Amino acid sequence: MATNPTQLASHDHKLSKFEMIKKSLSGPGGTIVIGLALIIGTSAIWVGKMTFTSFNLYLVLGYLAIPLIIGIFASFSLLAGVVDLSIGAMVALSAVVFAYLCTGNVNEWLAAAITILVCLGFGAINGVAIVVFGANPIAATLGMLVGLRGLARIISQMRPGTGSSQDAISLMITGLNNFTEAQISFMPVLFIIALLLVFVTQGIISFTRGGRHVRAVGGDIVAARRAGLATERIKFFSLLASAFGASIGGMLYVGKLGGAPVTLGTNMEFTIYAALMIGGYSILRGGVGNPMGGFLGLLIIAVFANLVDNKGLDTRAADIFVGFLLLIIVFLDIRRGGDAFE
């Protein structure tokens, strides 16, 4: 971020306590704290004591775990300045391919490996279109989104279900299901793993050379290229990372849900990017944001979804909330010095 004169001048005089609090609340951290406090407060008044039971906490964290894993990998592509809108469809494809292979008597581990390779293949197509040809990332991955949704449906129909589960391949893998449902006191194991992943990613981005290169490419690609970084390779691998995360997420959902519905991950890209943007990432410029913020942003959405669930509201209300939240967040980002449109 560019240093403006007021920031330089701010070293000269000491800020009062009130000013310091005001300043810290105007950043992404402030947005998160205020947002969380508002939603939990509303929930406490509206839903009552149930908000704070350990079971409710387990529900929130369980809802959060898999999107968090997908989001952390997708955050690499945001950081490198490319948006991958196809992650939601990639989750569905991964689930359907994995379930298709497993129901076809392929060993689970082999099936998982093949699924990851398939998803990486489509991630590579994204990479070729965006990096080699220089296509607009949003338009290209929107095409990939629709294409992969179609492909997931095609594969799903090769294993037609019966009755109400016609649009899903049902499959129960006991080991995987136990793994996704396991918990240590009120913490789902999957959530603990996701949280570890957040810390590791935070470390990579903050302290390693590779992480800094990704940020450099997203921040100013021309400067990064002149500094001798392989900008195209970094962008390409960041797209592969987001495809990899989506493939892992899809397989975990198969374990958790006991099947692969075709509609899995619909609008998930939207929720995840809204969460990441609450946490300080930007889908229009790379190089900003950190995984901890992304985690807290996803927590806000999970708490809100929990509130909607507990009150038995229309689940579409959550969509509307996320849509408007995204606009407010982007507006705040512009106020903080993000790129304004004209």
Partner 1 sequence: MSRLLSNRFKVPSLRKSADSEYLATILVLLGVWIFLIVISVINRSDFLSRATFGAITFNMCIIGVLAIGQGFVVISGGILDLSITVSMLISSFMTVVFYELGWNTPALIIGSILCAGAFGLFNSILVVWLKINPLIVTLATGFAGGGVLLIVFDRKLVDPKSWIADFGTSYLFRFPTAWWPMALLTIGAHFFFKYSRFGRHFLAVGGNPLSAKAMGISLKRMRVSTFVGAALIGGIAGIIFAGFTPEIRPNAGTYYMLPVIAAVVLAGFSLAGGRGSFLALFVSVGFLSTIPTALVFFGLKSIWETFIQGFILIIAVSIDAYRIVKARGR
Per-residue contact string for residues 87-126; x = within reach of partner 1 by CB under 8 A: --------------------------------------x-
Total chain residues near partner 1 (CB under 8 A):
44
Q: How far is the CB of 49 from partner 1 (least distance, A)?
A: 29
Binding segment for partner 1 (CB under 8 A), chosen from 32-40, 69-77, 226-234, 312-320, is 312-320
10 Å CB burial of residue 315 (0-12, 13-18, 19+) is: exposed
- All residues at 6 or more sequence positions from 74 whose CB lies less than 8 Å from its CB, including other chains: 84, 87, 241, 242, 245, 246, 272, 273, 276
Q: Binding to partner 1 by residue 52, rule CB under 8 A?
A: no
- Distance of alpha carbon 166 from alpha carbon 162, whole angstroms: 5
C-alpha distance from residue 314 to each of 299, 309, 311, 326 (Å): 20, 8, 9, 20
* 309 forms part of the interface with partner 1 (CB under 8 A): no
**Long-range contacts formed by 225-230: CB under 8 A, 24+ apart:** none
CB nearer partner 1, residue 147 or residue 258: 147
311 binds partner 1 (CB under 8 A): no
Instruction: List CB contacts of 271: < 8 A, sequence separation 6 or more.
Output: 67, 301, 322
312 contributes a contact to partner 1 by CB under 8 A: no
Are 260 and 95 a contacting pair, CB within 8 Å?
A: yes
* Residue from the set 42, 103, 157, 177 that interacts with partner 1 by CB under 8 A: 157
- Determine, following the binding rule CB under 8 A, whether residue 317 of this chain makes contact with partner 1: yes
Give just the sign of the alpha carbon dihedral 54, 49, 271, 261: positive
Give the nearest distance from C-beta 212 to partner 1 in angstroms: 27
Q: Which of 55, 109, 133, 207 binds partner 1 (CB under 8 A)?
A: 133
Contacts of 265 (CB under 8 A, 6+ apart): 87, 88, 89, 90, 91, 92, 95, 246, 249, 250, 253
* 158 in contact with partner 1 (CB under 8 A): no
| Binding residues for partner 1 restricted to 247-306, rule: CB under 8 A | 267, 270, 283-284
Among positions 41, 104, 121, 134, the unique one binding partner 1 when judged by CB under 8 A: 134
Rank residues 149 and 215 by Cβ distance to partner 1 and give the closer one.
149
Q: Write out the binding residues for partner 1, residues 318-337 only, by CB under 8 A.
A: 319-320, 322-324, 326-327, 330-331, 334
CA 318, CA 283: separation in Å to the nearest integer?
A: 21
Closest distance of CB 188 from partner 1, Å: 28
Does the footprint of partner 1 cover residue 48 (CB under 8 A)? no
Q: Which is nearer to partner 1, 212 or 336 (CB)?
A: 336
Q: Does 166 bind partner 1 (CB under 8 A)?
A: no
CB of 178 to partner 1, least distance (A): 34
140-146 CB contacts, 8 Å cutoff, 24+ apart: 141/83, 141/84, 141/85, 141/86, 142/85, 142/86, 144/85, 144/86, 144/89, 145/85, 145/86, 145/88, 145/89, 145/269, 146/89
Our CB check for partner 1 shows the closer of 40 and 138 to be 138
Residues in touch with partner 1 (CB under 8 A):
125, 128-129, 133-136, 138-140, 142-151, 153-154, 157, 267, 270, 283-284, 314, 316-317, 319-320, 322-324, 326-327, 330-331, 334, 339-342
